[in-house]
Amino acid sequence: MAAKVVVGTQWGDEGKGKYIDILAHDADYVVRFSGGNNAGHTIINKGVKYALHLIPSGILHEGKKCIIGNGVVVDPAVILKEIEGLESKGVSVENLYISDRAHVIMPYHKALDALQEEARGASGIGTTKRGIGPAYSDKAERCGIRIGDFIDQEIFAEKVRENLKIKNAIIEKVYGGEPFNAEQIIDEYSEYAKRLTKHVTDVNAMIHDAVDEGKVILFEGAQAMFLDMDFGTYPYVTSSNPIAGGVCTGAGVGPKMIGEVYGIMKAYTTRVGAGPFPTEQDNEIGDTIRELGHEYGTTTGRPRRCGWLDVVMIRYAAKVNGLTGLCINHLDTIGKLKKIKLCSSYILDGEKINYIPASLKQLAKCEPVYEEFDSWEEDISSVRSFEELPQNAKKYIRRIEEISGVKVSYLGVGPDREQTIRL
């Protein structure tokens, strides 16, 4: 059975958690393959709200095996807190498995994330300050600490002492920050390691066996296409590859394994953090969307920047991820406005283009070309079939399919798992 992948097509927070929760129903395994606790996935199930950062959203389904792949960076204190939170709500985490090849976010990564942001001043990226960038940098620099080494007390202590010689020098001498005490970290983290050891295993072997046995695997994307290190609005991106291709490197499977790729999007666009945003509405329209859609971050609580839907982005995301279906959320939200717009191309130096330029200088010059639609201005939150949707909503959806070249698989008309239309 071919695997399914869920990815974000914009700048994150498209509502991936909701679809992972829905698709997990028919899956045997749910696997996170990139990012860390910079992610915040909201799931509302029978009125109970869950905000997950590291643990795959499949955990809410009893009996599903939930895996954190090698491509993820794990903050031990955060995952333990998340485990406690789930257990206190009666959710079992017995089926949680963490790759011994995943990397650990250390306290000095978090400190460096904050210090680097401060040093960037006005050109800051607006990171979540969770230590994500510095942890991935160490992975590439080959001084990162993998989970397998983290749970081996001797190797862990040795690596912390070794790393701190350099990290403390950078923290103190470059940024004027406070140095870390190696022994304190070793004591604190050894306690975390003891509690996490039972979840650590060679998850690649588990995934390969699952493939051989014909099990259904769902790969859970975090972040999104335009936060991707290679295809996003670099340098205003995260430090991993959240695109569908990241499944291969972040979970250890070949591309032929992947069957369906669901691209999650909102009926408008949002972004948290800094960086270009061609269709941003830094005005009354953006404020209205923010209030109607409750657009405040799940992880940091920051107000999200809001704007019109940019289908040039979705089209590009469709190509890079090989999308087989779109899931459009917040149709209920956008339908409350009188008139709505979508961007179908850009004008760059007098020419019409339908791609995203790599150069931020060029992207800043891109003028969105908008198509205006009459809205539906009615409550659609209890609609459960495409046929029942207002004519104007259907027109808007069909136009998105036309420009992006991808058919819609699901529509979201509210935050609850039940508030979905399957096509």
# of chain residues touching ligand IMO (CB under 6 A): 23
Q: How far apart are CA 117 and CA 109, in angstroms?
A: 12
Give the phi and the psi of residue 177 in degrees, each rounded to 5. Answer: -90, 180
Residue nearest to ligand GDP (CB): 412
The DSSP line for 303-316 is: BPEEE-EEHHHHHH
Q: Which stretch binds ligand IMO (CB under 6 A): 10-18, 68-76, 323-331, 346-354?
A: 10-18
From 101, 124, 123, select the one nearest 113 (Cα to Cα): 124
| Residues tagged active-site | 13, 41
Q: CA torsion 313→315→316→321, rounded to 10°?
A: 120
* 244, 322 Cβ separation under 8 angstroms: yes
Work out whether 298 is an interface residue with Mg ion (CB under 5 A): yes
Q: Does 34 sit near ligand IMO (CB under 6 A)?
A: no
Check binding of 263 to ligand GDP (CB under 6 A). no
Nearer to ligand GDP, 44 or 77 (CB): 44
41 is a contact residue toward ligand GDP (CB under 6 A):
yes
* From the list Mg ion, ligand IMO, ligand GDP, none, partner contacted by residue 335 (C-beta under 5 to 8 A by kind): none
Length of the chain: 423
Binding mask 5-24 for Mg ion (x = CB under 5 A): --------x-----------
d(CA 381, CA 74): 37
Tell me the C-alpha distance between 146 and 161, whole Å. Answer: 15
Instruction: Tally Cβ neighbours within 10 Å of residue 61.
Output: 17
Which H or E run includes 278?
Answer: none
Does the protein bind Mg ion through residue 113 (CB under 5 A)? no
40 binds Mg ion (CB under 5 A): yes
Of 57, 70, 163, 238, which one interacts with ligand IMO (CB under 6 A)?
Answer: 238
The site partner of 15 among ligand GDP, ligand IMO, Mg ion, none (C-beta below 5 to 8 Å per kind) is ligand GDP
Q: Is 36 one of the binding residues for ligand GDP (CB under 6 A)? A: no
Write each residue from 108 to 127 as x if it is in contact with ligand IMO (CB under 6 A), else as -, in one continuous string.
Answer: -----------------xxx
Decide if residue 10 touches ligand IMO (CB under 6 A): no
Number of neighbours of residue 51 by Cβ within 10 angstroms: 13
Interface with Mg ion by CB under 5 A: which residues?
13, 40, 298
